[in-house]
C-alpha cells in the first residue's frame, strides 16, 4: 500500500475502533457499527485533507530550501577553487631538500597570508 494512503487509513481505522468500542457500551451492535463506519469515513477524509495540506506546504518551502543549499554548495566550491589556485605543487624530493627549504617556507607563509586575507 502506498505510504500516502497509510496515514489516512490509520486515521480512519483508529476512529472506527474507538467509536465502535465507546458506542457499543450504550447502543446495540448495529448502531455502534453504523456510527463507527461514519467515524471511519469522516476521519479518512480528514486524513486525506491533512495529507494534502502538509504536502502542499512542504512543496512550497522545498524550492527555497533547495536554492539555499545549492548556493551554499556553490560558495564552498568557489572557496575551494580559490584555495587550490594559491597552492603550489612540489615533489617530495624538492620539499625535503635543504636547497629549497627557504622556498618552501616562503611558499607556506605566502599561502597562509593569502588565506587569512581572503
The end-to-end CA distance of the chain, in Å, is 54
Q: What confidence tens digit (pLDDT) does each residue in 44-80 have?
A: 888 888 888 888 877 665 555 556 666 677 776 666 6
Domain boundaries, the chain: 3-85, 91-118
pTM over 0.75: no
Amino acid at each position: 500500500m502506498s505510504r500516502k494512503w497509510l496515514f489516512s487509513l490509520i486515521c480512519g481505522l483508529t476512529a472506527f475502533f474507538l467509536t465502535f468500542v465507546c458506542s457499543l457500551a450504550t447502543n446495540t451492535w448495529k448502531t455502534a457499527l453504523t456510527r463507527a463506519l461514519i467515524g471511519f469515513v469522516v476521519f479518512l477524509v480528514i486524513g486525506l485533507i491533512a495529507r494534502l495540506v502538509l504536502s502542499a506546504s512542504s512543496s512550497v518551502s522545498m524550492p527555497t530550501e533547495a536554492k539555499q543549499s545549492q548556493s551554499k554548495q556553490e560558495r564552498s566550491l568557489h572557496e575551494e577553487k580559490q584555495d587550490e589556485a594559491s597552492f603550489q605543487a612540489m615533489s617530495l624530493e624538492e620539499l625535503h631538500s635543504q636547497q629549497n627549504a627557504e622556498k618552501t617556507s616562503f611558499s607556506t607563509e605566502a599561502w597562509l597570508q593569502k588565506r587569512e586575507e581572503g
